[in-house]
C-alpha cells in the first residue's frame, strides 16, 4: 500500500502517518524528519536544507526528490510506505508518479487532513517534539506522561524552531501556494480521500482506517 498524506503544516500528518505505519506494517517516510536528522548530523544536505527550513520556505525540489528516491531504494519500501510531507509541490508529485510508473505502479491513496488555518496557528504553539527519536506531542491534545519528557525514549521535549508563530504563517502561505494544488492533482487521479482533521486524534485515525480497510 502506497499512501501520501496531504494537509497544512500541523494538520496531523505525522501523528496519523505513524499510526498508519504501525497498523499496516509499512515504513513512515517523513521528509521533514530526514532533513532534521541530516541537520543534526551536520551533513551537506542538512546544511543546505537548514537555510530554507528556518525561513519556512521549501527545500528545492531537486534536493528533495533525490533524497526521497534514495530512501525508496531501501529494502523496507518493497511493500509500500506512507509518505508524510512529500510531495509538497506539483513537480515533486510528477517526479513521484513518473518513478512509480516506471515500475508499473502508482499511489493508492492520498489522504487530505483538513484543518482551517486559524486552528493550525493555535495547534502549532503547543507542538513539542523529542530531540532524540522525533516523537511528537501536544501540550493539551496529546501530552506526554511526564511533562517535558518523551514517553518513548525519555529524552527532553523541545519546541521546533520553525514552529514559532511568524514562521508558521510563512509556512501556511507556502502551503496554500505550492502544496494545496496537490489536492486537485490527486483528485484527478481518483485517489483523493478527505478527512476532517479538527476532530480528536483517535477519531481522525478511525476515519482513515475506515478508508484504508474499505
Grid cell of 67 as nine digits: 533524497
Question: Binding partner of residue 15 among ligand ADP, Zn ion, none, CB under 5 to 8 Å per kind?
Answer: ligand ADP
Q: Interface with Zn ion includes 101 (CB under 5 A)?
A: no
Q: From the candidates 2, 88, 123, 193, give the one annotated as an active-site residue.
A: 88
Q: Give CA–CA dist 144/104, Å, rounded.
A: 43
Which residues, 149 to 208, sit near Zn ion by CB under 5 A? 150, 152-153, 155
Question: Binding partner of residue 130 among Zn ion, ligand ADP, none, CB under 5 to 8 Å per kind?
Answer: Zn ion
Determine which helix (DSSP H) or strand (DSSP E) holds 51, and give its type and residue range.
helix 44-55
Q: Interface with ligand ADP includes 12 (CB under 6 A)?
A: yes
Question: Binding partner of residue 24 among ligand ADP, Zn ion, none, CB under 5 to 8 Å per kind?
Answer: none
Q: Interface with ligand ADP includes 35 (CB under 6 A)?
A: yes
Q: How far apart are the first and last CA of the chain?
A: 13
**Are the beta carbons of 112 and 6 closer than 8 angstroms?**
yes
Q: Which of 2, 3, 4, 9 binds ligand ADP (CB under 6 A)?
A: 9
Which residues, 138 to 197, sit near ligand ADP by CB under 6 A? 138, 141-142, 162, 171, 197
CA nearest neighbour of 214 among 191, 196, 198: 191
DSSP string, 158-181: E--GGGSHHHHHHHHHHIIIIITH
The reply to whether 160 belongs to the active site is yes
Q: Give CA–CA dist 1/81, Å, rounded.
A: 7
**Are the beta carbons of 87 and 98 closer than 8 angstroms?**
no
Q: Interface with Zn ion includes 133 (CB under 5 A)?
A: yes
CA separation, residue 42 to residues 11, 55, 66, 159 (Å):
29, 18, 18, 20
Which residue's beta carbon is nearest to the bound ligand ADP?
Answer: 32
Which residues, 104 to 143, sit near ligand ADP by CB under 6 A? 123, 126-127, 136-138, 141-142
Q: Interface with ligand ADP includes 3 (CB under 6 A)?
A: no
Q: In 3-state terms, what secondary structure has residue 181?
A: helix
CB atoms within 10 A of CB 102: 8
Residues found near ligand ADP in the complex (CB under 6 A): 7, 9-15, 31-32, 35, 52-53, 56-59, 64, 85-86, 88, 92, 123, 126-127, 136-138, 141-142, 162, 171, 197, 200-201, 204
Instruction: Give catalytic residues, as residue numbers.
Output: 13, 88, 127, 160, 171
Amino acid at each position: 500500500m502506497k499512501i501520501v498524506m496531504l494537509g497544512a503544516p500541523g494538520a496531523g500528518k505525522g501523528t496519523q502517518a505513524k499510526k498508519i505505519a504501525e497498523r499496516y506494517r509499512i515504513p513512515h517516510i517523513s521528509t521533514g524528519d530526514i532533513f532534521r536528522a541530516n541537520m543534526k548530523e551536520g551533513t551537506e544536505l542538512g546544511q543546505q536544507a537548514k537555510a530554507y527550513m528556518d525561513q519556512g520556505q521549501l527545500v528545492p525540489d531537486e534536493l528533495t526528490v533525490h533524497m526521497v528516491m534514495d530512501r525508496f531504494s531501501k529494502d523496507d519500501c518493497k511493500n509500500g510506505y506512507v509518505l508524510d510531507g512529500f510531495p509538497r509541490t506539483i513537480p515533486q508529485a510528477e517526479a513521484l508518479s513518473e518513478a512509480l510508473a516506471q515500475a508499473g505502479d502508482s499511489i493508492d491513496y492520498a489522504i487530505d487532513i483538513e484543518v482551517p488555518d486559524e486552528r493550525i496557528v493555535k495547534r502549532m504553539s503547543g507542538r513539542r517534539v523529542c530531540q532524540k527519536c522525533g516523537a511528537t506531542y501536544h501540550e493539551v491534545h496529546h501530552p506526554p506522561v511526564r511533562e517535558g519528557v518523551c514517553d518513548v525514549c525519555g529524552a527532553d521535549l523541545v519546541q521546533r524552531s520553525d514552529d514559532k508563530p511568524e514562521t508558521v504563517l510563512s509556512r501556511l502561505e507556502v502551503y496554500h501556494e505550492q502544496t494545496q494544488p496537490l489536492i486537485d492533482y490527486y483528485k484527478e487521479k481518483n485517489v483523493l480521500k478527505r478527512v476532517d482533521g479538527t476532530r480528536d486524534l483517535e477519531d481522525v485515525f478511525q476515519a482513515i482506517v475506515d478508508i484504508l480497510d474499505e
